[in-house]
Structures are given as C-alpha cells and as structure tokens.
Amino acid sequence: MSNKVIISCTVNGCYESAKNNSPQCIANSVYAAWKAGVSICRLCINDGKGNVLLSKEQLVEAIRLIREFKECDIVIACDSFGEASLDGDTGATIFNTVEGIEIGTCTMGTVNYEGDSPIYNTPGYLKELTATFKAKNIKAECRVLDMGMLGNTKWLLKSDYLSAPLFCQIAMGIVGGIDDTVECLLYIVRNLPAGTIWSASAAGDAQLAIIYSSLVMGGNINIDLVADDKCIDVSMIKRAVAAIKEFGKDTATGAEAREILGVTPYAR
C-alpha cells in the first residue's frame, strides 16, 4: 500500500475549550473528519497536568456514539498527554479498562510546555503505559517532540516495551520541542529506526509546509483539530486530501490504515 497515506487527527485537545465538549459533539466531529478523509481519530483524555478533558465515562460514551455510525470504519486512538492522574485514574488505568481503543498515543518524555509546570512522562510511566498497550493489544503511537524523545523511543524498542514497526507522530512547533521547519523534520526522519511508519504535524502557519514535506519524505499526515460546541472545521483535512492527490496517492481507509499499522481488523 505504498500509495496510501494515513491522515490522523485530534478532535479534542489540550485547550480550555475542549473540556466543554460533550461525547456527542466529539462523535459528530469524528464522523465529519472521517467523511472528509481521516482514517484515525485521536481522543485526548487529559492535558498532561491532571486536567480532565474526557472522563472515563465520557470516553466510553464517545466511543459508543462513534460506533453508532455504521458505515464509519475509522480507527480510534486515545491520547494521554502526560502521566498526571485523572480523577484518580492514570492514563495506563484508562487504557487497561476502556474497551474499543485501538491505538494508544503517548508523549515519549517530559515536556517543558507553556505554563508554570512541566508535563511529566517519566521513564517508569512510559514503561507502564507501553506494557499496558502490549497487554491490551493496543498499537502504540509514539509522539516525538525532539531527539531526546526519539532516544527514549529507541530505548523502549530495544527493551521490548515497543514492537517494530514503530508508529511515530512527529509533533513540531510545540513550546519545549523541536521547531516546525523542514530541516528539523528531515533530521528526525533520518534518525528513525528502519521501517518506522510516521506522521508529522505542525502548529499554525507551518502546517501546510509540513504536510507537503511529509508527503515528499514518504510519511503520513497528522492534523490537530479542536471541536467547538458544534463540530470541527474540516477545511485543513480537505487541503491535506488535495495535497495527497497532487502527489498521485490516495487516502487510506480505516481498514487500510489498520493493515498498514498491524492493528487488528475492526469487526462490529
């Protein structure tokens, strides 16, 4: 499937507005993203500082509502940005107890993000989280913000907490991480373990440049979107789809994304 490109997107995220999203709003946004060309949706459960964006109950309901769209075969990913507890539950607890999560996204190190305190992802927590992924047959998506996090990823792979082929999300332009330039993207891509499947994203004005650069380098596309009280704006997704077609490629369906990543086929 060398001509297939996976588009993934986050429909809620580490933003003040996201905490007001209802499970129905999130499900509607996921469906709109899927119709526009997305094959993996990512649901954020916390902002890495202990602030809950989706409680366990809301996450369960959001997944149920997404699966009520019978024709929608989108892959469901869940993202714990940091190890801070969520109403008493860590990210590892959520992944261990909530059914229907196919991909688990984890940031591969501590981030000195905006604000007064870091977003912690200690080596011990990363081992706990990736061991949970393996036990639950959840594909790990390793979010890499800099070369140090790529080093952590390689260490976890060598230590058998992660399995090849890796699935990496290169997140650029985040405060505390690597700059959102083509040069920085190329540097990280050149240092990925052989066979790694990867996507890249950037904040703001650099997003289109990173989309086109990812396609040139043989990568996939990640778009961070945040639903408001109605639904997401799918315009950037449509631009990504158009770019993929310009390169003579096509967007991967949910079923094709599962095959590419080695995720268990979805059965209703």
β-bridge mates for residue 77, sequence order: 42, 103
Looking at the predicted structure, is the pLDDT value of residue 17 above 80?
Answer: no
All domains of the chain, ordered by start, with CATH? Answer: 4-261 (3.20.20.70)
**Cβ neighbours around 159 below 10 Å, total:** 10
What pLDDT is attached to residue 119?
A: 83
Instruction: Please check whether residue 261 is in contact with residue 268, taking contact to mean a CB–CB distance below 8 angstroms.
Output: no
Question: Cα separation of 140 and 94, whole Å?
Answer: 14
Q: Three-state SS for 50?
A: coil
Question: Cα separation of 211 and 184, whole Å?
Answer: 14
Give pLDDT tens digits for 51-70. 667 788 889 999 999 999 99
What pLDDT is attached to residue 228?
A: 45
**Cβ neighbours around 20 below 10 Å, total:** 12
Q: How confident is the model at residue 105 (pLDDT cuts 50, 70, 90)?
A: very high
Instruction: Please check whether residue 20 is in contact with residue 56, taking contact to mean a CB–CB distance below 8 angstroms.
Output: no
Question: 212-232 in b/e burial notation, b at 16+ Cβ within 10 A?
Answer: bbbbeeebbbbbbbbbeeebb
Task: For residue 252, give the nearest of 173, 197, 187 by alpha carbon.
Answer: 197
DSSP 2: T
Looking at the predicted structure, is the pLDDT value of residue 15 above 80?
Answer: no
What pLDDT is attached to residue 175?
A: 84
124: exposed, middle or buried (Cβ count in 10 Å: 0-12, 13-18, 19+): exposed
Distance of CA 262 to the CA centre of its chain: 16
Share of residues in the chain with pLDDT > 90 (%): 68
167: exposed, middle or buried (Cβ count in 10 Å: 0-12, 13-18, 19+): buried
Give pLDDT tens digits for 117-158. 788 899 999 999 999 999 999 999 999 999 999 999 999 999
Q: Model pTM?
A: 0.93
* Backbone Cα Rg of the chain: 17
Give pLDDT tens digits for 223-258. 976 544 445 678 889 999 999 999 999 999 999 999
